[in-house]
Amino acid sequence: MNCYIIDDEQHNIDMLEFYISEMPNVKLVGTNTNPVNALREIEHLGNVDLVLSDMDMNKLSGIDVKNRLPSHIAVIFVTAHFISDFEGLNLGEIDIVTKPVNPDKLKAAIEKAR
């Protein structure tokens, strides 16, 4: 599974990158701190299966990112917000992993996205 990480804070990307490196069936194909540039790069790559995206970013929110991605790309939101903050939003089958990230919960969400 090819994974791309979007977060406007590099230290969060670094943390997720480390956790992904421990998952043999997941290949990190790119990261970006700018969601607009990330969308361009994901389109250019053409082989992204999964996006791990922060919810609260400059320029575009995680929901904006999700809405602009092709429907075949799975999205997992990684956020410091409480999950209850998103009740009432129609997020479909999207998983939310809260920060600080528990690696086991991240792995479970990625397995579910397969």
CATH, residue 82: 3.40.50.2300
Look at the chain and report how many structural domains it folds into: 1
pLDDT tens-digit profile, the chain (114 residues) = 999 999 999 999 999 999 999 999 999 999 999 999 999 999 999 999 999 999 989 889 898 999 999 999 999 999 886 554 445 444 555 678 888 999 999 999 999 998
Q: Which residue has the tokens 């994901």?
A: 42
**Structural domain span for residue 7:** 2-113
Smallest CA-to-CA distance from 54 within 30, 78, 37 is with: 78
Give one word for 79, left, alpha or beta, with left for phi > 0 and alpha for psi -120 to 50: beta
